Amino acid sequence: MATIAVFGAAGFIGRNVVQKLLEKGLSFIAVDAVDSPFPTRINYVKADILNPEAVGNIVKKVEAVLHLAASPLLVSMENPKLNMKVNVEGTLNILDAMRESKPKKIVFSSASSVVGEVKYDAVDEGHPCKPKTPYAVAKKACEDYIRVYHEVYGLDYVVFRFFNVYGPWQYPQHGALVPSLYMRLTSHEPFTVYGDGSATRDFVYVDDVAEFCIQALRENIPNELVNLGTGKPTSILELINVASKILKVRPNLVFKPKKAGEIDNFYANTAKLEKLFGRKPSTTLEEGLGHTFTWLKTVK
């Protein structure tokens, strides 16, 4: 397969994608705005997606783009303008470079949070979108820009709406649920549950996400917006119980009132994913948490 550019390669999902690409022997350029976290044998370019010239120099060398680079949710709450600049302007820099150089396809990482207010479960791709955070607003704008660039300029795309991705390289200090739960359980500290713990989410293991991203790049699945989740709702209490059994600890839970605006239930309808890709994520919660906790044990 021709060379792939992976923007955001040093991030949580990017690290896992790079590992998969290496395992499969595929040609790629790993790109991020930080110094390389990889061994020297990795073809790595330090470049900011806000630098159009740097982006253009990379894109003209490849046949396809996997765009994982993003300013995260927490930044969007503190600095919405910076978040918008990175996520929207950065994406437009990549799209404009592709328009000039004609790579065949872009695979883009959107977020299930673009839905905002859940009207029904399971959430399908046609669900109304009312984003509730600046981050989600920016992701939705990118979805629309990519669709328009297909309609106007002929760029092919697959947009994945990632649900609750977890796994290795997701560090506890980033505040994500699974590594935070691990740290609380292993240190025997209280873990706060908002509400009664019955609210459900769709937890998808990062290894599965990486596999679908690579499949989308390699196969003829053009111009689609697709949910990337398991289709299985997991309550917060169920997640805690499974994690506690794996770690052989008794959880110390503190219950507090549900946060204002918190969504009770939210999981993916995977019918479109299964139709286009012939499958859905297969890693069970027990398997995924086991692998994740093994990795977290190595984190200093």
Per the omega criterion (within 30 degrees of 0), is the bond before 122 cis? yes
Task: Give the pairing type, strands 191-194 and 253-256.
Answer: parallel
Q: Which residue in 44, 120, 135, 205 is the catalytic one? A: 135
Residue 135: active-site member: yes
- Residue 261, judged by CB atoms within 10 A of its CB (0-12, 13-18, 19+), counts as exposed
Q: Calculate the CA 144 to chain-centre distance.
A: 18
Task: Give the pairing type, strands 234-235 and 200-201.
Answer: antiparallel
Residue type, 204: V
Among 216, 185, 209, 165, CA closest to 293: 185
Cβ-contact 229, 274 below 8 angstroms: no
Structure tokens at 89: 């302007």
CA distances to 250, 252, 253, 254 from 190, in Å:
11, 5, 5, 6
- Active-site positions read 135
